[in-house]
Structure 1
Amino acid sequence: MVSGVGQATAAPIPNIALYGNNLGTMGDHSYCRGNVNVTIHTPQNKGGVVRVTARSAGFGGEGASWKRNPKCRVLFQTRYTSLRGYALDKWTTAAFGPRRGETKVWDVPTGPGPATIGVTTSAINNPVRTPTGALLVFHMLVP
């Protein structure tokens, strides 16, 4: 048996992103669609938590309704498996416009240890969670 005393601190975590970091998706109105770059890291002094950042590459839509309201609402599904449980979900909404660089950040309470996090999007204005984007998967060890 090995034991010891020390201080655990959260830090950037190496991870494997199987399908890259870019996620193409659709939103809630006017055929709006766009691309987001998704990255993960652990926030300082918050062990067992993974912070997800979605950064927009710009969203576009069609017609007069898009000109009136150029914000595309998106529903992110973050599904994670860790020592806390299997296939747990965290749902987060975001709104992106035509400007590049708009960001949405949320925390996922994976707990410390090995974890797999999948990020995708689903229809926001439909009671059936119809997928509207691809799937990004990250494998990591969370401090």
Structure 2
Amino acid sequence: MIGEISVNVGGDEVRKACLLLVAVAMSAMTWWGAGNVTAEPQLPRVTQYSENVGTFGDHDFCHGAFNIGMVAPKGKRGVVRITLTSFGFTGNGSGWARDPKCRFFALVNTTAGFGKNEYFPVAFGRRPGERVTIESHPGSGPKAVTVSTSSSDRRSDIQSFGATMYTIVP
């Protein structure tokens, strides 16, 4: 067997090298962030399922869905501006005909410390494209931002699956 070379590298050494590489990369991203903020770019993010959330509201079986957008406001470090854009909501009965607004709370949970819950009132009607803008302050660095909904009369009742986005906040 001419020219045969055998290299014996243990699994522990490879695992340690990979962990060290990940630690160095995360440290670099945390230290430098995403650079200076000069515009409001969409934050790069990874989601598990979707950036769309379906929910229901406070009266007459009102229900619908909305999309989640996230930007870094110009000149504000550690802040995420979340925009909820409605696909249109609908309901049943005479109550919906009198009051065609579906109300609920948007629950924003960020990994600032051990998790920070913020509730924001939302009201969407029939027309698609209605927007609600929320500012959250999770701080700079790698973060997980979850948006879900709760009922308008009891904030503790979660009523949608929600969407979790992993991002780097400048």
| 8 Å CA contact 2:37, 2:72 repeated in 1 | no
State which of 111, 123, 126 in structure 2 corresponds to 1:98. Answer: 126
Give the number of the structure whose alpha-carbon radius of gyration is greater. Answer: 2
Q: How does 1:73-112 map to 2 (within 5 A)?
A: 73-82=103-112, 85-112=113-140
How does the TM-score come out when normalised to structure 1? 0.89
Q: Which residue of 2 aligns with 1:139?
A: 166
Q: How does 1:46-85 map to 2 (within 5 A)?
A: 46-82=76-112, 85=113
Higher strand share: 1
Number of equivalenced pairs:
136
Could you list the runs of 4 or more consecutive aligned residues of structure 1 that deviate by over 3 angstroms after TM superposition? Answer: none
Q: Which residue of 1 aligns with 2:17?
A: none
Q: Which residue of 2 aligns with 1:113?
A: 141
- Report percent identity of matched pairs: 34
Q: Please list the CA deviations of residues 60-81 of structure 1 after superposition, one character each: whole Å capped at 9, or x if unmatched.
A: 0110000000000120000010
How does the TM-score come out when normalised to structure 2? 0.75
User: Which structure is higher in RCO with an 8 Å CA cutoff and minimum separation 6?
Assistant: 1
Higher helix share: 2
- Consecutive unaligned residues of structure 2, counting only runs of 5 or more, are 1-30
**Alpha-carbon deviation of 1:51?**
0.7
CA distance in 1, matches of 2:91, 2:153: 16
- What RMSD over aligned residues (CA atoms) do the two structures have, in Å? 1.8
